C-alpha cells in the first residue's frame, strides 16, 4: 500500500484530497471575489491558482505520485490549476497586476 502520505494524497484511493483541494481553492477565491475591486480579481485569482498548483505539485512530489497513470492524480490537478491560472492571467491586463501589487503593498504599509 505504501506510506500513509501516499494513501492520503492519491486520488485513486481517497476522495478526501480532492475535497481538501477544492476547499483550498474555493474559500480564498470567494474572499478574493468579495474583497477586491473588480479589476483586481483576475490577477489575484491567477496568483491563487499558481500558488495552489505549486502546493499540489509539492504534495504529489512528497507522496511520490506517479505521473503517467490512467487515474486522476495530483499531477493532473496541478496541471489543471496552472492552465486555469494562465487563462486568468491572459484575460487580465498587465496594468491590473501592477495595481494588485500596489494595492497589497499599500495595505501592508498602512498596517505597520
- Report the C-alpha gap between 40 and 21 in whole angstroms: 23
Q: What is the pTM of this model?
A: 0.73
Number of domains in the chain: 1
pLDDT digits (tens, 9 = 90+) for 5-40: 555 554 444 567 777 778 888 999 999 999 888 888
1 pLDDT band, cuts 50/70/90, is very low
Q: Can you give the residue range of the structural domain that contains 9?
A: 4-111
Report in angstroms the alpha-carbon separations of 82 from 33, 49, 112. 19, 6, 33
- Report the C-alpha gap between 28 and 108 in whole angstroms: 18
DSSP-assigned states of every residue in 28-88: HHHHHHHHS-HHHHHHHHHHHHHHHHHHHHHHHHHTT--SS-SS--HHHHHHHHHHHHHHH
Amino acid at each position: 500500500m505504501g506510506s500513509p502520505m501516499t494513501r492520503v494524497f492519491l486520488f485513486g484511493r481517497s476522495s478526501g484530497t480532492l475535497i481538501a483541494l477544492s476547499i483550498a481553492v474555493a474559500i480564498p477565491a470567494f474572499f478574493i471575489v468579495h474583497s477586491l475591486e473588480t479589476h483586481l480579481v483576475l490577477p489575484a485569482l491567477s496568483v491563487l491558482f499558481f500558488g495552489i498548483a505549486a502546493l499540489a505539485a509539492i504534495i504529489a512530489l512528497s507522496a511520490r505520485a506517479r505521473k503517467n497513470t490512467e487515474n486522476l492524480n495530483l499531477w493532473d490537478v496541478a496541471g489543471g490549476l496552472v492552465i486555469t491560472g494562465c487563462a486568468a492571467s491572459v484575460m487580465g491586463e498587465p496594468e491590473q497586476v501592477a495595481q494588485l501589487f500596489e494595492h497589497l503593498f499599500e495595505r501592508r504599509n498602512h498596517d505597520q
